[in-house]
């Protein structure tokens, strides 16, 4: 999804699907003129397309292919290749955001490393917002499906299947089946399996506190848990 199929991202998850989520997030992270925001794991830039009107954005991702997609959508934003666990820019930002890319942190050490990166790049009194798709308390198995068509004749449809083969561990599985239609009408099928992390609310809040960004959790407009921490002096 994030490499060979990256060019299909605008037909899988376009900016138009992020209107409500962006409005909710901006209500929780009001921006002063000139405010800066660092996004770790920014992917194809669909959420950033809404945030860039309110913040000066620096968008980072470990996938060069996904950053190229984002650059086409958000050419006015800074784009940098980097892993959220180890990125060091020697700069401070008013807000550090980790959207659903945090789901690929499948071990506590990886989550803690990402939160440390966020804390290091957040100014004192600034905000760190993290939006995991699921936490242990609200995970449900299920399926989703959607897709879009492009003006050049391409089309994409997908089926997403979330399941948890071992509820005693810290991960669950998301299987994706893609139908990809080329401009000449040729259709191919691809399967992609993602292993994603699943941790409790208490664990998240503890790890935020350990990183020096004590947080509160809330439920956003998509019924998803959102953690917002404030960078403290410790």
Whether the pLDDT of residue 137 is over 70: the answer is yes
Whether the pLDDT of residue 41 is over 70: the answer is yes
d(CA 143, CA 158) in angstroms, rounded, equals 10
The pLDDT assigned to 31 comes to 87
Residue closest to 205 by CA, chosen among 112, 125, 124 = 112
Whether the pLDDT of residue 112 is over 80: the answer is yes
Task: Count Cα neighbours of 170 within 13 Å in the Cβ-side half-sphere.
Answer: 15
> Each residue of 189-225: pLDDT tens digit?
999 999 999 999 999 999 999 999 999 999 998 899 9
d(CA 60, CA 86) in angstroms, rounded, equals 12
Secondary structure in 3-state letters for 65-106: HHHHHHHHHCCCCEEEECCCCCCCCCCCEEEEEECHHHHHCC
Enumerate helices (H) and strands (E) in the chain, giving the number of each: 6, 11
What are 171's strand-pairing partners?
197
Query: What domains are there in the chain, each with its CATH number?
Result: 6-135+200-230 (3.40.50.150), 137-197 (2.20.130)
């Amino acid at each position: 999804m994030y490499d060979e199929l990256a060019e299909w991202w605008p037909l899988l998850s376009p900016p138009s699907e992020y209107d409500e989520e962006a409005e909710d997030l901006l209500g929780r992270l009001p921006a002063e003129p000139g405010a800066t925001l660092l996004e770790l794991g920014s992917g194809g830039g669909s959420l950033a397309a809404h945030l860039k009107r309110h913040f000066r954005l620096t968008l980072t991702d470990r996938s060069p292919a996904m950053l190229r997609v984002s650059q086409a959508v958000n050419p006015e934003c800074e784009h940098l290749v980097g892993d959220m666990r180890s990125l060091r820019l020697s700069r401070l930002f008013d807000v550090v955001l980790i959207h659903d890319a945090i789901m690929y942190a499948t071990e506590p050490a990886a989550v803690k490393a990402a939160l440390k990166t966020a804390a290091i790049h957040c100014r004192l009194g600034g905000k760190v917002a993290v939006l995991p798709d699921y936490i242990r308390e609200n995970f449900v198995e299920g399926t989703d499906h959607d897709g879009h068509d492009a003006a050049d004749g391409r089309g994409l449809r997908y089926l997403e299947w979330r399941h948890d083969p071992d509820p005693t561990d810290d991960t669950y599985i998301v299987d994706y089946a893609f139908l990809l239609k080329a401009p000449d009408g040729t259709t191919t099928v691809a399967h992609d399996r993602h292993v994603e992390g699943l941790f409790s609310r208490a664990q998240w809040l503890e790890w935020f506190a350990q990183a020096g960004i004590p947080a509160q959790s809330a439920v956003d407009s998509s019924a998803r848990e959102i953690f917002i921490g404030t960078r403290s002096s410790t």
